[in-house]
Amino acid sequence: MAENKPVRIQDDLYHYVNGKWLETAVIPDDKPTVGGFADLDTGVEKLLMADFAAMAKGEKKIPDKYVAKAILLYKKGLDTKRRNEEGLKPVLPLLEKINSLQGIDDFNKNIKELVLGDYPLPVQFGVDTDMKNTKAHCFLLVGPSTILPDTTYYAEGNKQGAALLGIWSQMAQKLLTFSPLSPAEQEQYLKDTLAFDKKISGIVKSQEEWADYVKCYNPQKTEKVIAALAPLDLKGLLQGLYGKLPSKVIVYDPRFLKNFQSLYNADTFVLYKHWAYVKALISSCGYLSESLRTLGNTYRRTLIGLATDSSIEKQAFHNADDAFNEAVGLYYGKTYFGEEAKKDVVDMVKSIIEMYKKRMAKNHFLAKATKEKAILKLSTMVIKMGYPDKIQPLYDTLTVEEGTSFFAAMEEIDHEKSVYAFNKLFEPVDRTLWVMPGDMVNACYNPYSNDITFPSAILQAPFYSLKQSRSANLGGIGAVIGHEISHAFDNNGAQCDENGNLKNWWTKEDFKKFKALTKNMVKEFDGIAFAGSKVNGKLVVSENIADNGGMAVTLALVKELKEPNYQDYFENWARVWCQKAREQYQQLLLSVDVHSPTELRANMQPRNFPEWYATYKVTKKDQMYLAPSKRVTIW
């Protein structure tokens, strides 16, 4: 048998850098991935779980009243004795409330309670920033989610979708045996749930459609939406919430609204009610007994290939962390994030923005007026680094009662968060709010406030370290920073101005050229075989534009260093994308995730840049060669 030849970097950067680790890495039974982001996330998890355990036992001081609430919730999650004794009992009032609805008139009488109580509804409402006036909020609506991850799974002949729906149905059937329903009712409720879900799948957007998020902005006069949603009483809901009607409603999915009356009417109300009952039962299982939690996670485990659920300790921590995420993130940032690192990374962000301005000024396809608008957008971009300076008022409203069950505590928190969110409608937008907590291993660009957020938790090796070379840091956190900045100029972000308003600031000819380059980026990735499926270039185009821009601007910065080291740059670029994942999870992401698979992120983008070819003497004979005519550089 011939020996395996060592991987050449010119053929496969990703496996050259990460190959040895990939051979021995073991994915934990309760996680879908290991490596890169996942390893940092696990490190933060272990650190904070140890702190939570110590605080719960009184061995570590609780820093403030907000973390104190999180610890009380955490202790409720740990109380398996009570959870197991109670079984389904805590969720029975919710299920009985759904079952008691006699028809549409009865639903309408209770609509405010149902909306604020986060019951499964035939249409979802919310309050968010108005895309065309980002100083104000807007009232919005969107369709309910499907059981399967995407509408494409429902296509005739989709064997994966049929198999997953079978697993979900078996799980639901077993859970219904714990309910007060008779066997005949259990069978009917499940049958009706699947029928209602099928109706939903035919009228809501696919994930590919959602990826073009600018198309979510479809303002309609409130009276017109009220009429379209009849017999559901939107007017009564708005009057109950606000005592008056907003002038408009933003319809995120016009096709759904157009078809709503075929989904929800007097003839389909029973289907809806049974669907809501089953959905509520399943979504509650995570807060109930250990056996119900395990059973209720069957579908999720199958979907992403997990061998087992997370431990009760992990679940209790994550529920408390999610409920009080800003408070926990603030604690993490203040306790574990160094000011020296913060200053260094802020300086790096500023240098990347300045380089972006230089590159934008020299851009080859933009007119002068468009360049000036782009540079203005860069100049006004806000940097949010580490963790926020203060806790938002939401956390003063959240309560955790001593004697309540874990489920009841989570239910009350969800209710209080809903009330707080809906109450914002007629208030100005607070641009100081963070969209990510300090303990999250991630980063983001917010197109509606033109800001970039880098939580403390991502500012670790291999992304960033004071011990790494500047070139390596530019290939890690620098490229991530450049990526987030580039979202200001991706196919979606490019349609927002310096204040985050949805506004055309391009000349007609410039935007036409940009769209042509965007199509080239779609082509570069579209149809690549991966994990038994193929990449959808349209779904992932915005993130690929951002990766491309992030690499372009940071390579330009490496060139300006006194001692540029392109090898450090490219190898750390590949290192941060290192990941070993379960095949089921990879296939799911190919259907629903706007990011390309990490291996492709590592290997595809370098091919677009001359520095890659010069550093490793890559030629036509090498697998990581791309003909100049096919290389894409937008920013």
**Confidence label for 243 from pLDDT (cuts 50, 70 and 90):** very high
**Predicted pLDDT of residue 5:** 74
* Cα 600 from Cα 597, distance rounded (Å): 5
> Residue 82's closest CA among 324, 528, 406?
406
Span 215-234, average pLDDT = 98
* Cα 394 from Cα 419, distance rounded (Å): 10
- Does 41 qualify as catalytic in the annotation? no
* Cα 494 from Cα 498, distance rounded (Å): 10
> Residue 577's closest CA among 558, 603, 554, 559?
603
**Predicted pLDDT of residue 4:** 62
**E strand residue ranges, 203-283:** 219-221, 248-251
Contacts of 573 (CB under 8 A, 6+ apart): 13, 475, 476, 479, 551, 602, 606
Q: Give the CA angle between residues 53, 55, 57 to the nearest 5°.
A: 70
Q: Is the pLDDT of residue 433 over 80?
A: yes
Q: 277-318: per-residue pLDDT in tens? A: 999 999 999 999 999 999 999 999 999 999 999 999 999 999
pTM value? 0.93
Q: Are 549 and 569 in contact (CB under 8 A)?
A: no
Q: Are 190 and 172 in contact (CB under 8 A)?
A: yes
% of the chain with per-residue pLDDT over 70? 99
> Residue 84's closest CA among 414, 409, 405?
405
Q: Answer left, alpha or beta for residue 35, where phi above 0 means left and psi between -120 and 50 means alpha.
A: left
**Predicted pLDDT of residue 340:** 85
* Cα 554 from Cα 463, distance rounded (Å): 14
Q: Is the pLDDT of residue 2 over 60?
A: no
Q: 179-197: per-residue pLDDT in tens? A: 999 999 999 999 999 999 9
Q: 125 phi and psi, to 5 degrees?
A: -115, 160
Q: 314-346: per-residue pLDDT in tens? A: 999 999 999 999 999 999 999 998 788 888 889
Span 609-626, average pLDDT = 98
Q: Is the pLDDT of residue 239 over 50?
A: yes
Q: Give the CA angle between residues 353, 359, 364 to the nearest 5°.
A: 150
Q: 526-546: per-residue pLDDT in tens? A: 999 999 999 999 999 999 999
Domain ranges for the chain = 13-24+339-387+437-630, 89-287
Kindly name the residue from 309, 411, 490, 547 that is annotated as catalytic. 547
In this structure, the number of other CB atoms found within 10 A of the CB of residue 293 comes to 20
* Cα 392 from Cα 504, distance rounded (Å): 32
Q: Is the pLDDT of residue 274 over 50?
A: yes
What does the mean pLDDT of the chain come to?
A: 96
> Residue 459's closest CA among 445, 444, 439, 436?
439
**Predicted pLDDT of residue 341:** 82
Span 151-178, average pLDDT = 96
Q: Are 626 and 608 in contact (CB under 8 A)?
A: yes
Q: Answer left, alpha or beta for residue 383, where phi above 0 means left and psi between -120 and 50 means alpha.
A: beta
State the sign of the Cα–Cα–Cα–Cα dihedral 351, 352, 355, 357. Answer: negative
Q: Are 482 and 490 in contact (CB under 8 A)?
A: no
Q: 380-418: per-residue pLDDT in tens? A: 999 999 999 889 999 999 999 999 999 999 999 999 999
CATH code at 13-24+339-387+437-630: 3.40.390.10
Listing DSSP states for 535-557 in one string gives: --TTTTHHHHHHHHHHHHHHHHH
> For domain 89-287, which CATH number applies: 1.10.1380.10, 3.40.50.720, 1.20.1730.10, 2.60.120.260?
1.10.1380.10
Q: b vs e for 155-176, b when ≥16 Cβ sit within 10 Å of the residue's Cβ? A: eeeeebbeebbeebbebbeebb
89-287 and 13-24+339-387+437-630 share a CATH fold? no
The radius of gyration computed from the CA coordinates of the chain, to the nearest angstrom, equals 25
Kindly name the residue from 51, 484, 599, 611 that is annotated as catalytic. 484
**Predicted pLDDT of residue 1:** 35
> Residue 409's closest CA among 281, 287, 296, 292?
287
Q: Is the pLDDT of residue 33 over 80?
A: yes
SS3 state at 1: coil
Structure tokens at 119: 């019951």
Q: Is the pLDDT of residue 3 over 60?
A: no
- Does 484 qualify as catalytic in the annotation? yes
* Cα 418 from Cα 127, distance rounded (Å): 10
Respond yes or no on whether the N-terminal peptide bond of residue 231 is cis (omega within 30° of 0).
Answer: yes
Q: Are 127 and 139 in contact (CB under 8 A)?
A: yes
Span 30-56, average pLDDT = 96
